[in-house]
Amino acid sequence: MHEMQKFESVDQLVNTIRPVDPIYCIRPNSIKSACSWFKQNFPGQILYAVKTNPNKKVIKFISESGIDKFDVASINEIKLIKKILPKARAYYMNTVKNREHIKEAYVNYNIRDFALDTKEELQKIIESTNGAKDLTLYVRVSISN
């Protein structure tokens, strides 16, 4: 992996590197500004959905901006967050999870927040956590308009 270089503009980047393949650009100030705006304008609890951009540097900038809760959809996203930010709170919000991943998330990564939308998923969570009493469950329901 290359070390991150800084450029004043996209034009400067293109003229300096002259890339043949696509380049991944991270704009830390834009990330921090967006996080700040969102925190000031959203009254609820903020979770960053890791699947939107699982880049380690992006996640660190988001965390440094005061967002320390993460919506994870897979065991690999949990591992990523816990490796980068061991104390961060991750919410396992995928409504279809396999039993082994539920157990691993609960036992190895201290995940206590799980989303579900069926009785079967509830049963998997209960069984995979050995009937744990310290869970917070988010039940997604579908209602007609």
- Range of lowest pLDDT (80-84, 126-130, 141-145): 141-145
Q: Which helix (H) or strand (E) holds 71?
A: strand 69-72
Residues 55-112: tens digit of each pLDDT: 999 999 999 999 999 999 999 999 999 999 999 999 999 999 999 999 999 999 999 9
CATH number, span 10-139: 3.20.20.10
> Does the structure show a pLDDT above 80 at 39?
yes
Average pLDDT over residues 24-39: 93
Q: Which helix (H) or strand (E) holds 91?
A: strand 89-92
Sequence-separated contacts (24+) of 114-122 with Cβ below 8 Å: 114/138, 115/91, 115/139, 115/140, 116/140, 117/141, 117/142, 121/95, 121/96, 121/97
Q: Which of 11 and 70 is assigned the larger pLDDT?
A: 70
Judge contact between 38 and 66, C-beta under 8 A: no
Q: Where are the domains of the chain?
A: 10-139
> Does the structure show a pLDDT above 90 at 142?
no
pLDDT of residue 2: 59
